[in-house]
Amino acid sequence: MHLTQSLKRALQLNPQGVATISGERQHTWTEFYQRIRCAAAGLLALGLEKKDRVAILSLNSDRYFELVYALPWAGLISVPLNIRLAPAEIIFLLNDSGAKVLCVDETFSAMLSEFKGKLDTVETIVYMGDNEFDGAVSYEDLLSKSETIEDTGAGGDEVAGIFYTGGTTGLPKGVMLTHDNLVANGLNAVHGFGFTKHSRYLHAAPMFHAADAAANIGLTMLGGTHVFVPKFEPELVLDTFVKSEVTNVMLVPTMVNMLVNTHDIDTYDLSVLVRICYGGSPMPEAVLLKAKALIPHVEFTQAYGMTELSPIITILDDEYHVTDGPKAGKIRSAGQVVLSGEIRVVNENDEELPRGQIGEVVARGPTVMKGYWNREVETAQALANGWMHTGDAGYMDEDGFVFIADRVKDMIISGGENVYSVEVENAVQKHPAVSACAVIGIPNDEWGEEVLAIVVPNEGESATDAHIISFCKEHIAGYKCPRGVVFVDALPTSGAGKILKNKLRDPYWEGRERNVN
């Protein structure tokens, strides 16, 4: 399969349909096709050769989306960069990937001065903003001064993109995703996101994330419309829902929480919105139920996976987002395996466990990564016995629904009992004074570890640690309840919206040989 085949299909099915809406700019699929062929030619004219890497450091935009197709059209490999990283971290990614070209927009152009003399392989800067930028090639000039070229034919098992993991554990690793990987998950996204040829999808979550690739390829296959906002801001997203008649969007739970807590959300006409797909981290039930109460006509779908799986491996359909009736209880799951994949739960010896027993979730199929860039040992470990080891602890019920208990390392052992933090977080999140929370294990000389809840209170609300702990005891077993509560203004998150629990744990475990007791 070829990543570019989705574009060719869109051109055949809907040549005059609207392909992209980005601010005041709008292009049809015919115009989009012309632009990416010029961009591909312009990039090769810079001296690039097939399989060279091109990095992108930019907020969401139609130009970013054009590069998603121009790069494979030219036989090049994309390296989407996490926009929330510090300059030193970005320098590491650029050098690790061996990128020869860096495409950067106006938001991050000021960072270029911090890169000087520190980049090993970058030869050219392409500026994606509207104006000229000293020392950089203008993206629009690159297009206007280039003739079109035909597709170079890259596809199959060739690497299409190197997506760096969020760095939640150790140094970031470059996940090599092939054309086959991305197209296969694009097909999964058609189902999971509920796309049709009439869909208008809002790119609100960061486009550097692999989940965006799955969505953009899936919708492009159908010739739908891509709408862009530079970054997630609740009011901007709500305005864009209305102005651009958005039907579909993918958000991480933190974003859903911010949307439903927007004070005037009921003043927006969201009647066109059809489906919200969410993923990236567990959704607190309280947030999900509030969202469904506010916008009852909107369908909700959960997508679970990881970058190494391109990234979707299970889908929880809207019909299971209920709290009563025969389908009740599935709302707490991550859903069932996608059509193209296999999934199972195994013990430490990679032996499949009976239904209902907690072990590590592993997966295989056409969406499993080719490997980690220049990391053969880590690749072999992750793909042991032919299965991608997710590092997530979970179980499968008799109907094939996968329930994620936590990251394996997030399990807290207190007094010999296993406590899975997601259960505690769901309980804490139900308290009316709580906006967001994260639960970690901290050292306790008596119990080994104790449960600590780190809470972001709702604006204008107040609660004491005693109130939170007492409230939890009404919902979960006493040994699972927090022994302490710390109130903070915000939780640290990765560029993909995942809570960085290592940053929360580090102060408590500093100076100890291990991060568990």
Helix/strand/coil (H/E/C) assignment for every residue in 66-128: HHHHHHHHCCCEEEECCCCCCHHHHHHHHHHHCCCEEEECCCCHHHHHHCCCCCCCCCEEEEC
Q: CA-to-CA distance for 309 and 152, rounded, in angstroms?
A: 26
Position 166 pLDDT exceeds 60? no
Find out whether 467 and 437 touch, Cβ atoms under 8 Å: no
For the chain, domain boundaries: 5-394, 411-509
Distance CA 296, CA 259 (A): 14
Instruction: Identify the CATH number of the domain defined by range 411-509.
Output: 3.30.300.30
pLDDT of residue 416: 60
What pLDDT shows up at residue 516? 47
How far apart are alpha carbons 61 and 148 in whole angstroms? 22
Please spell the DSSP secondary structure of 315-362, one letter per residue.
EE-GGG--SSSTTTTGGGS--EE-TT-EEEEE-TTSPBPPTT--EEEE
Over the stretch 274-328, which tens digit does the pLDDT of each residue have?
Answer: 999 998 766 778 889 999 999 999 999 999 999 999 999 999 999 999 989 999 9
Cis amide leading into 432 (omega within 30): no
Using one digit for the tens of pLDDT, what is the confidence trace for 361-419? 999 999 999 999 999 999 999 999 999 999 888 999 999 999 988 666 677 878 667 68
Question: For residue 153, which of 50, 80, 253 has the smallest C-alpha distance?
Answer: 50
Which three-class secondary structure state does DSSP give residue 136? coil
Which of 218, 210, 217, 171 shows the shortest CA–CA distance to 192? 218
Q: For residue 12, what are its two tokens?
A: 């055949």
Mean pLDDT (the chain) is: 93
Predicted pLDDT of residue 275: 98
Higher pLDDT, 480 or 129: 129
CA atoms within 13 A on the CB side of 317: 9
**pLDDT number for residue 514:** 45
**pLDDT at 478 > cutoff 90:** no
- Distance in angstroms (rounded) separating the CA atoms of residues 9 and 218: 11
- In this predicted structure, the answer to whether residue 91 has a pLDDT above a threshold of 60 is yes
- Which CATH topology does 5-394 take? Rossmann fold (3.40.50)
Return the pLDDT at 376.
95
